Structure 1
Amino acid sequence: MRKGFALIILSILIFSLGCGAKPADNKDAGKETKGKLVSALTVKKQEQPLLLSAVGIAEPEQEADLFFNASGILTGLHVTNGMKVGKGQLLATLDTDTAENSVSSLVLADAQAELAKKQTDLERVQKLYQEGVATERDLEDAQREVDRQTNQVAQAERSVVATNLKAPFSGIIAEVMQQAGQTVSPGTPVMKIVDLSKVKIVLDVPNDLISQYHVGQTAAVTSDGGKQEQGKVTAISPVTDPQTGKYRVEITLSNGTGLWRGGMVAQVEVPRTLSTGIILPLSCVGVNQDQQYVLAIENGVAKRHVVEVGQIIGDSIEILSGIKPNDRVISSGIAYIGDGEAVTVKGE
C-alpha cells in the first residue's frame, strides 16, 4: 500500500513539474554548455532528528462516576463542584430504611464477634500443632473457618457502608449531579471525581504512522499557551477504533502545576525514525512503470538509479536504498531528462 501511494503522489508531482518547467535563465543562455542545464543537489544524511507532530486531547489520569449501591434519601452532601478531596474522604450519606440499617448493623456485630472467636480457635490449634497434639488437618480446618468468617464480615460491612459514599482516590469533584433531599436509586450517579495529578494526552494515529510510536518513548507536549513539557508514551492500542479507523496512543505527563485540564488541546512531537537518514525533495524522484528512480550526475551524464522509497514527509521522501551520501542528483524536471543524457549543472 505504501509503495502504491508513493507512486500516485510521485506521478502527480512529475506531471505538475513537467508542465511548469521553465527555460534556462537569460544569464545562462549565452554560455556554451556541454549538455542540458539542470539543477542538482548533493545527497546528505539527515543530521538533526525529524519530528513527527500530532494534535491530541488531554484527559484525566483517573475519573469515575460515584453512586450508592442502595436506594434512599440523600441526607448529606459534603462536597461542591471543584472541591479537592482525599482518598477515603466522606462525600455523601444516604438514609435508607431504619429497620434495614439496624438489621445490617446487628449482622455486622455478630459477624465480627464470630470472627474473633474463630481467630482465638486458630491460635489455640496452632499452639497444639506445635506441641504435636493437633494434626495438620486440624490446622487447615481452623484456618479455613477464619477465612470463611472474614468473608462474612466483609459482606456485612458492605451492607452498612452502602449508606456512605467515599472518594476512591484523591482528586477533584468535577460535577455534583444530585441535591440533598433527593431520592436516589442504586447505581444512579451522584457525582463525578477526576484525578488531574497526571494527565493523558490522547492521539488518534493513522496506520501508516503508528510504527513511529512505542511505549516509553519521550514526547514533547505543548499547550495552546506555548508551554512545553515532557511526557512519555504509556499506552498504544493494539487495534483501531472502529469509528475513526485509527489507533489510540496515550502520552502521560505530570500536572503538578495544574496547567492541564480535561479537554485541552495539545501539540505533541516525537522523534521520527528513519531507516537510512537520507531525505530528498519529492521533485528528485521519478516514476517509471512500477519503479521509483533518481538521476545521478556521473561525469557530466545523467544516470538513472532505481531507488526504494520509504515515508513521505511533507514535500520530501525517505530513500531506503539506491543512492548514498555525497552522490549528486538532479533536483527538478527529471521527466524531461533521459538516462545517459549529457547535463550541465546551472551555475557551475
Structure 2
Amino acid sequence: MKKWIGLSLAALLLSGCERLDESVQQLKRMEEVDTDIKVKTVKAYTVESGEEALKQEISGVVSPKKELSLSFGRSGQISQILVQKGSVVKQGQVLAALDASVFQQEVSAAQGQVASASIRRDQTLQGPQQHEMETQRLQVEKARQNAEKASAEHAQAQILYNNGAISKDELDRQALADKQAGIQLQEQQIRYDKLKQGADKLEVEAANAAVQQANVQLTRARQDASDAVLKAPFSGVIAAISQTESEQTGPGREVFRLVDTSGWLVNLQVDSGQIGSWQTGKKVTVRAADGTEAEGVVTFVAPVLDPATGTYPVEVMIQEQTDHWRGGMTVTCVYEVKTNNSLFVPVSSVGIAEESYYVMKIVDNTLRKEPVTVGNLYGTFYEVLEGVEPGDEIVSSGLSYVVAGEVVKVADE
C-alpha cells in the first residue's frame, strides 16, 4: 500500500514538471514573438552616384504638324468641289470654287474704268491740241474786235451826249457795253495764254488720282474673283468636308479641314521640378502605346508657368513619317538628362517637415532623421545636393510609419 502511494506521488511530480517546462517554453515563444512585433521591418535604399543618364518620361497628346479650317473669302454659291474626304492635296491646288460670273463682270467693269481714266490722263499730260489753240486764238481776236468796236461807240456816244444829242441813259448803256467787251477780251486772252502754257499741274494730279482710284477698284474686283477660288495653303490630307455644291457660303464658314501629317506635334505639360532640364533642340524618343517609336526634337519650352494647369507647356516636333499615328492619341516622351555623378534617391524616401526635406538614415539598425537639400526631380528620383553620401542606407518608403531613434530591421531584397 505504501509502495503504491509512493509511485503515485512520483508520477504526479513528474507530470507537473513536464507541464511546467511546457509553460516556460510557451512563455519564451511569446516573448520572442513580442520582440519581433516591436522591431519594425523597413525597406532600404543604398545611395549611389548617377553615373549614367537618367530618363524622364512624360505623357503627351499628339496633334498634326498643321491643321487649318478653310473657308472662302467672300459670300457666294459653291459651284464646284474638286476633292473628297481623305484626298491628298498639294500646296496651291484648287479645292473648290464659287459661281464666278458676277465677279468676272466686276473685273471687266473695273478694267474699263482704268482704261478711260488712263486716256484722260494721257490727254491732260499732252496738253491742248493744235486745233484747240487755233480756236482759242480766233476767240481772242473776235473779243478784241468787239472791244474796239464797243470802245469806239462809247467815245461817239460821249460826243453826242456832250452836244445834247442823246440822253444820259444812252451814254451809260454804251459805257457798260464797252466795259463788258473789255472783260470778255481779258477772259479769252487768259484762256489762250493758259493753253499755250501746256498741261495744268492740278489737272495732271486730278487725272493721276482718277487712274489710281480706278486701279484700286480693279484690284478689289480681282481679289473678289480670287476669293471665289479656294486653294490649299499647304500640302496635306482633307480631313473633313462641311458643305456641298450649290450651297450658299460666306467668309469664315468652314468648307474643308486640312491637316498636314508629314510630321506630328506632341504637347507636354512639364512640372516645375523637371522643367529645368528641358531645352529647345534636345532630341526626345517618342513612344506610342503600340510600342512604335519616333525621334522628336524639343521646339518650344514655355518661359512662364501656365496658371490653368500649374505646369510649363513644352512642344516636341516629330518630322518622321508615321502613317499609323493619329491626332489625339497619347504618347510617352523619353527625355535623357545627364546626371554629372549627382546623388539620387527615390521620391518616396524623402519627407517634408517644417518646409524642409529629410531622409531617414539607417545607422546600426537605428533610424536617424537627416535634413537634405534636393535639386531637380527626375522621374521618380530626387537629386540630392546635400545631406547624404554614396553608400548611405536610407528608408526607401513608408516614412509616415517610422520615427527617429527607432530600432528597425532591413527587409531582405
Q: TM-score range by the shorter chain?
A: 0.5 to 0.7
Equivalence for 2:289: 224
Counterpart selection for 2:318 from 253, 258, 263: 253
2:62 maps to: 58
Find the aligned partners of 2:68 and 2:324 in 1 and give their Cα distance.
21
| 1:234 paired residue number | 299
- SS of 2:57's partner is strand
- Higher radius of gyration, 1 or 2: 2
Deviation at 1:60, TM superposition (A): 1.2
- C-alpha distance in 1, partners of 2:283/2:116? 55
Cα deviation, residue 255, structure 1: 3.6
Which whole-Å CA distance do the structure 1 matches of 2:61 and 2:348 have between them?
36
Q: Is the 8 A contact 2:51 2:341 kept in 1?
A: no
Match for residue 328 of structure 1? 392
Query: What code does the residue aligned with 2:300 have?
Result: A
Structure 1 residue 23 displacement after superposition = 2.8
1:57 positional shift: 1.2
| Cα shift at 1:316 | 4.3
Give the letter aligned to residue 322 of structure 1: G
1:83-122 maps to which residues of 2 (within 5 A)? 83-96=87-100, 98-107=101-110
Q: TM-score, normalised by structure 1?
A: 0.66
Q: Percent identity?
A: 31
Match of 1:262 in 2: 327
Structure 1 residue 269: deviation in Å? Answer: 1.2
Normalised to the residue count of structure 2, the TM-score between the two structures is 0.56
Listed one character per residue, the Cα deviations across residues 296-324 of structure 1 (whole Å, up to 9, x for unaligned) are: 68999988754212345566432112333
Aligned-partner Cα distance in 1 for 2:239–2:116: 41
> Could you report, residue by residue, the CA deviation over 1:46-76 in whole angstroms, capped at 9, with x for unpaired residues?
1222211111111111121111122111110
Match status 1:177 vs 2:242: yes
- Which of the residues 72, 79, 82 maps onto 1:78? 82
Q: Which residue of 2 aligns with 1:23?
A: 39
Q: 1:277 aligns with which of 329, 338, 342?
A: 342
CA distance in 2, matches of 1:109, 1:220: 62
Closer, same or farther in 2 for the Cα pair 1:42/1:191, shift >3 Å? closer
**Contact (CA 8 Å) 1:64, 1:193: kept in 2 or not?**
yes
**Quick check: 296-305 or 220-229, which moved more?**
296-305
In 1, Cα distance between equivalents of 2:65 and 2:90: 15
DSSP-derived class of the 1:189 partner: coil
CA positional deviation for 1:246: 3.1
Query: Alpha-carbon deviations, 1:216-258, whole Å to 9, x = none?
Result: 1111101121111110111223344454343321110124242
Q: Which has the higher helix share?
A: 2
Distance 1:319 1:276, change over 3 A: farther
| 3-state SS, counterpart of residue 48 of structure 2 | coil
Deviation at 1:44, TM superposition (A): 2.0
Does the C-alpha gap of structure 1 residues 216 and 80 become closer, same or farther in structure 2, counting only changes over 3 Å?
Answer: same
Shift of 1:182: 0.7
Classify the secondary structure of the residue corresponding to 1:238: coil
Q: Is the Cα–Cα contact under 8 Å of residues 276 and 319 in structure 1 kept in the other structure? A: no
The letter of the residue matching 1:107 is: A
Residue pairs, 1:8-47, within 5 angstroms: 23=39, 42-47=46-51
CA spacing shift, 1:112–1:174, aligned 2, 3 Å? farther
Q: For the structure 1 residues 237 and 151, does the alpha-carbon distance in structure 2 shift closer, same or farther, using more than 3 Å as the test?
A: farther
Structure 2 unmatched runs, 5+: 1-35, 119-208
What 5-or-longer segments of structure 1 have no aligned partner? 1-19, 26-37, 116-144
Does residue 69 of the first structure (1) align with residue 73 of the second (2)? Answer: yes
Superposed CA offset, 1:139-192 (max 9, x none): xxxxxx9x9999877544312212111111111111110001111122211111
- State how far apart, in whole Å, the 2-side matches of 1:167 and 1:283 are: 53
Residue deviations 1:104-127 (CA, integer Å, cap 9, x gap)? 244358769999xxxxxxxxxxxx
Higher strand content, 1 or 2: 1
Please identify, of 240-249 and 297-306, the stretch whose mean Cα deviation from structure 2 is larger. Answer: 297-306
What is the rounded CA distance, in whole Å, between the counterparts of 2:117 and 2:296 in structure 1?
A: 52
